[in-house]
Amino acid sequence: MTPARRPPSAHNGPLSHLPALPLPASKSSLATLTLGALGVVYGDIGTSVLYAVKEIFGSGHVPFTHANVYGVLSIIFWTLTIIVSLKYVVLVLRADNHGEGGLVAMLALASQSVKHKAPALRKWMLLIGIFGTCLFYGDGVITPAISVLSAVEGLEVVSPHFRKAVIPLTLVILFLLFWVQKRGTAGIGRFFGPITLVWFAAIAALGVSHIVGHPEILGALSPHHALGFIWRQPGTTFIILGAVVLCVTGGEALYADLGHFGKRPIRVAWFSIVMPALTLNYFGQGALLLAEPEAVANPFFHLAPAWLTLPLVGLATMATVIASQALITGAFSVTKQVIQLGYLPRLQVRHTSTRDTGQIYMPFVNWGLFVLIVLAVVLFRSSSNLAAAYGIAVTLDMLITTVLTFFVIRYGWGYPLALCLAATGFFFVIDLAFFSSNLLKLTEGGWFPLLIGGAIFTLMVTWKDGRALMSASLRDTSIELKDFLASVFLAPPARVPGTAVFLAAQPGLVPNALLHNLKHNKVLHEYNLFVSVRNHEVPWIGLARRLEVEPLGRDCWQLVVHYGFKNDPDLPKALALLAGRGVNLNPMTTSYFLSRDIVTPTLRSGLAPWREKLFAHMHHSATAAAEFLNLPSNAVVELGSKVEI
């Protein structure tokens, strides 16, 4: 469960340039938030111990020698230190967008930073950032598949006879996980943190149980072992980086969930619980391999004595389900944000909690992810095969985050160019090395998440470009609202009681719904509101900045309603803010007039024919604006119109 973040109050909207002052957290709230962060933020990276060491040594590229084991463990430890501790915890967590994190928030922040100082870069930076967001979905397919599958594979350690049951059991667990999404996770979400805490305690204890027999293994904490391994075997190092990166998958979640928990709980959880537990377990696996090289088949589960293996499989399965749940919730949240930024059509959003607005369920996203995950499990059939597909999307996302961070600290924070290049250039080189290594796995399965990300990127860019063409077409055929009203009132039609709310794509232009209403019904309501909805590249917009009102005379008003990409659109609630501002709005006598546009592709210049047809299909399949804006169904009038692009 991802807890909801409270939006800012009406008097402290995010369009203000004054930074909000955080309230000091009490010890109890810090402990609660830290525990919550364990279940939501660190579930993915916490389950990497199931397969990372197995894939590094199981590849056959690294012989079992004392120096090699020390070298690999040292590389794992310093990868965690550099990528997670330094890059994400120290640097990237500082780049919050009004308290929010994640690639969408970073993209919006970077876009705002270069808007006036380097406008030529903005278009390309937006494309790069949106592609990074698309890769999240590719990662979102592989993560639940490899996590749950690697946990269930522990049954093979109990008995080889369980091998045939691994895939069916994995699919059953995944189906149940996606099936319960529609019911919400508020009820069981309170157990995520405690269960994950038990998981970290268990993996730390398993590691310690083997380290005490070989305490000298802790010498691998010294970076000279990593540097020595790289110096002696540069080719092997480059190859195994594709498997080493598995130990930091999930690191992006530290930044993505910044808005839910805040910087301090995330940092406290990492340095006090997560990193020590991961380090102890990885070093315990290394000690085990030095003593029993044959344990390489599944070193994690071989850490446990035989009598404990089955309970450990159960705990690992719960931990991977929690990690998958956090990712599914993240997919819902990211999709909703991308829709409000204008890169995807409206999709059905259901709120599963009356208390927490962040608890949402999106049926299309939920079952789309499930189908792709089932395809991944059936296609790759083992966690080792999935590991070959894992890494490319993650490392490319990390690379994009580093690039966007440069724009934020250079243009947003105004730091000197040399300092910005040094700070982000160091991480860029490391991210590039990991990404380049993962390219070796492109034909072995790396194509799968890239294909998913590429397909979603095509949809997003087509939707954005199609909407631009559609807006241009509407502008070319539209009439100025003020001039039109002036002509209408020269010989005014009959006025009927009540309020009419006309939805307009762009302020200042006559909505098609108004033209059709006058043509067919030949009446005008007593009060008329011409409303346009605007979404902005900030997470939250407070109530004080929600409405922009312009009187047009004769009881007509033009309104612009502003939302951030994390606000929940609710037009009736926004219009209720008109009380006391000269607008008589009675919900019982208010009707909402919408234009249901039918997009018709043409042969004139614009998008490629296949993209125009794709956009027309996406537009036709989009959730109705009335549902998306939470309009009362018994007060909505839809009037059709045709738009050529």
Distance CA 201, CA 194 (A): 10
Each residue's pLDDT tens digit, 322-341: 989 888 888 888 898 899 88
Collapsed DSSP state (helix, strand, coil) of residue 641: strand
**Is residue 372's pLDDT more than 50?**
yes
> Rounded to 5 degrees, what angle do the CA atoms 334, 340, 341 make?
85
Buried/exposed 44-68: b ≥16 CB within 10 Å, e otherwise = bbbbbbbbbbbbbbbbeebeeeeeb
pLDDT class of 63 with cuts at 50, 70, 90: confident
R_g (Cα) of the chain, nearest Å: 27
pLDDT class of 28 with cuts at 50, 70, 90: low
Residues facing residue 7 across a β-bridge: none
Q: Are 24 and 202 in contact (CB under 8 A)?
A: no
pLDDT class of 357 with cuts at 50, 70, 90: low
Question: Within 13 Å, how many C-alpha atoms sit on residue 329's CB side?
Answer: 29
Of residues 50 and 3, the one with the higher pLDDT is 50
For residue 262, what pLDDT is reported?
86
Q: Are 178 and 370 in contact (CB under 8 A)?
A: yes
Of residues 458 and 4, the one with the higher pLDDT is 458
Collapsed DSSP state (helix, strand, coil) of residue 553: strand
Label residue 291 exposed, middle or buried (CB < 10 Å: 0-12, 13-18, 19+). exposed
Distance CA 144, CA 178 (A): 11
Q: Residues 239, 242, 247, 252: is their CA dihedral positive or negative?
A: positive
Helix (H) or strand (E) holding 632: none
pTM: 0.85
Residue % of the chain over a pLDDT of 90:
48
**Is residue 356's pLDDT more than 80?**
no
pLDDT class of 2 with cuts at 50, 70, 90: very low
Q: Residues 605, 610, 613, 615: is their CA dihedral positive or negative?
A: negative
| Average pLDDT of the residues in 76-95 | 93
**Is residue 18's pLDDT more than 60?**
no
For residue 151, what pLDDT is reported?
92
pLDDT class of 247 with cuts at 50, 70, 90: very high
For residue 354, what pLDDT is reported?
61
DSSP 95: -
| Average pLDDT of the residues in 97-119 | 82
pLDDT class of 27 with cuts at 50, 70, 90: low
Q: Are 105 and 96 in contact (CB under 8 A)?
A: yes
pLDDT class of 496 with cuts at 50, 70, 90: very high
3-state secondary structure labels for all residues of 306-354: HHHHHHHHHHHHHHHHHHHHHHHHHHHHHHHHHHHCCCCCCCCCEECCC
Distance CA 198, CA 324 (A): 17
3-state secondary structure labels for all residues of 420-454: HHHHHHHHHHHHHHHHHHHHHHHHHHHHHHHHHHH
Distance CA 498, CA 161 (A): 73
Which of 25-34, 129-138, 267-276 bottoms out in mean pLDDT, i.e. has the lowest? 25-34
pLDDT class of 353 with cuts at 50, 70, 90: low
| Contacts of 120 by beta carbon, 8 Å cutoff, 6+ apart | none
3-state helix vs strand vs coil in the chain, percent to 5 = 65, 10, 25
**Is residue 643's pLDDT more than 70?**
yes
pLDDT class of 358 with cuts at 50, 70, 90: low
For residue 188, what pLDDT is reported?
66
Pair of tokens at residue 297: 């088949």
**Is residue 16's pLDDT more than 90?**
no
| Average pLDDT of the residues in 377-398 | 89
Collapsed DSSP state (helix, strand, coil) of residue 97: strand
Other residues' Cβ atoms within 10 Å of the Cβ of residue 553: 10
> Rounded to 5 degrees, what angle do the CA atoms 93, 456, 438 make?
65
Distance CA 445, CA 376 (A): 10
Distance CA 55, CA 153 (A): 14
For residue 525, what pLDDT is reported?
92
pLDDT class of 363 with cuts at 50, 70, 90: very high
pLDDT class of 1 with cuts at 50, 70, 90: very low
How far the first Cα of the chain sits from its last, in Å, is 42
The residue among 45, 52, 87, 90 whose CA lies nearest residue 73 is 52
Other residues' Cβ atoms within 10 Å of the Cβ of residue 267: 18
Distance CA 143, CA 149 (A): 10
Q: Are 431 and 402 in contact (CB under 8 A)?
A: yes
The residue among 606, 571, 608 whose CA lies nearest residue 590 is 571
Label residue 109 exposed, middle or buried (CB < 10 Å: 0-12, 13-18, 19+). buried
> Rounded to 5 degrees, what angle do the CA atoms 298, 252, 320 make?
40
| Average pLDDT of the residues in 258-268 | 87
* Mean pLDDT over the full length of the chain: 87
For residue 187, what pLDDT is reported?
62
Helix (H) or strand (E) holding 300: helix 299-302
**Is residue 497's pLDDT more than 50?**
yes
Which of 289-303, 321-335, 380-394, 599-613 bottoms out in mean pLDDT, i.e. has the lowest? 599-613
Distance CA 301, CA 316 (A): 10
Distance CA 602, CA 583 (A): 42
Q: Are 599 and 619 in contact (CB under 8 A)?
A: yes
**Is residue 8's pLDDT more than 50?**
no
Distance CA 47, CA 320 (A): 6
**Is residue 293's pLDDT more than 70?**
yes
Q: Residues 561, 564, 565, 571: is their CA dihedral positive or negative?
A: negative
Each residue's pLDDT tens digit, 528-542: 999 999 988 888 888
Residue type, 346: R
pLDDT class of 200 with cuts at 50, 70, 90: very high
For residue 4, what pLDDT is reported?
38
Each residue's pLDDT tens digit, 554-599: 889 999 999 988 888 999 999 998 887 777 788 888 999 988 778 8
Residue % of the chain over a pLDDT of 70:
93
Q: Residue ranges of the domains in the chain?
A: 33-450, 478-644
| Contacts of 62 by beta carbon, 8 Å cutoff, 6+ apart | 56, 68, 72, 236, 240
Please give the backbone phi and psi of residue 639, each rounded to the nearest 5 degrees, phi first: -125, 125
Question: Within 13 Å, how many C-alpha atoms sit on residue 371's CB side?
Answer: 7
For residue 585, what pLDDT is reported?
81
pLDDT class of 114 with cuts at 50, 70, 90: confident
For residue 609, what pLDDT is reported?
86
Helix (H) or strand (E) holding 508: none
Superfamily grouping for domain 33-450: Amino acid/polyamine transporter I (1.20.1740.10)
For residue 355, what pLDDT is reported?
60
Q: Are 387 and 440 in contact (CB under 8 A)?
A: no
Distance CA 294, CA 405 (A): 44
Distance CA 250, CA 43 (A): 8
**Is residue 24's pLDDT more than 50?**
no
The residue among 158, 139, 137 whose CA lies nearest residue 366 is 137
Residues facing residue 97 across a β-bridge: 100
